[in-house]
Amino acid sequence: MQKLSIAVAGVAFIVLGSISLEPVEAALIDFNFSTTNGAAGTFTLNTNTPPSPEPAIFRPNVTGVAYLGAVSNFSISAPYVNLSNVTTDFNVVPSVTSDLIGFPMNLGVLSGVSYPPGCITSSSLTCLFDVALFYSGNQAKLPILSDNSLSYSRSVGIDFFNPTTNELLIRDNITNLKVVSKQVPEPNSSLSILVSAIGVVALLMKRNLKTKQYAQ
C-alpha cells in the first residue's frame, strides 16, 4: 500500500509540473506606445472578437471591418486626452494601404483603435481620436484577425478630432511601439487526473484499513 501511495504521489508530482509549465498563448495582444508630443498609452486587443455586422466608417465612402469592444484596458496620457482602463473598438480598413497615406508600400493596411466606443460605425463620424497602426496579417483571412503580434508591429500615429465637426485637430506620430502576445494559463485536463489519482489512493487506503480491522 505504501508503494502504491508513493507511485501515485509521483504521478501527482508530474501532473502538477505539467500544469504549472504549460502556459498557452491566448488571442490577447498587449500594446505599449509613446508619441512625438509626449503621449503614452497601453491597451489589450482580443483578436478573437467577432466582426460587427455594421462596417467601420473611416471616411465617407471608405469602410472597413469593425470589432466592437475588442480593445480593453486602454489607457492614454497626453496633452490632448487622458483615459484610464476603458474598453473601446478596433478596426481594419483593407482598402487603405500604407502607400496611400504617404508610407512605403507593403507595410500593411490601415487599422487601429477608435474612441469612444461605437463611433467607428456611426455615419456621423463622431470619433474623438484614432490610434492608427498598419495591419500586416493575411488579408485573405479577414474578417478573422491574426493572433500574431508581428501583424501589428508597425505604427502610424494618433489623430485627434473635433467630435462635432470631425475636423482634424492634432496628428501625433507614434515614435515607440511595443507589441507582445499575452501569456495566460489554460485550464488543463491534467488537474482532473490528479484529483482522480488522489481519490483512488484515499479509497484504497480506506479499504486497507477495514481489512486490517477485520483481521484483528
- Tell me the domain boundaries of the chain: 2-20+188-215, 24-185
Predicted confidence at residue 2, as pLDDT, reads 52
Q: What percent of the chain has pLDDT over 70?
A: 72
Specify whether the CB–CB gap between 91 and 112 falls below 8 A.
yes
**What does the mean pLDDT of the chain come to?**
83
Average pLDDT over residues 68-96: 97
Q: What is the pLDDT of residue 124?
A: 87
The better pLDDT of the pair 44, 18 is held by 44
32-64 pLDDT, tens per residue? 999 999 999 999 999 999 999 999 999 889 999
Q: Which of 49, 33, 126, 132 is nearest to 87 (CA)?
A: 49
Give the number of C-alpha atoms closer than 13 A to the C-alpha of residue 176, restricted to the C-beta side: 10
Name the least confident of 107-116, 139-148, 190-199, 202-211. Answer: 190-199
What pLDDT does residue 214 have?
52
* pTM: predicted TM-score of the whole model, two decimal places: 0.75
Give residue-wise pLDDT tens across range 133-157: 999 999 999 999 999 999 999 999 9
The three cell numbers of residue 206 are 480506506
For residue 76, give the H/E element and its range. strand 62-77
pLDDT at site 85:
98
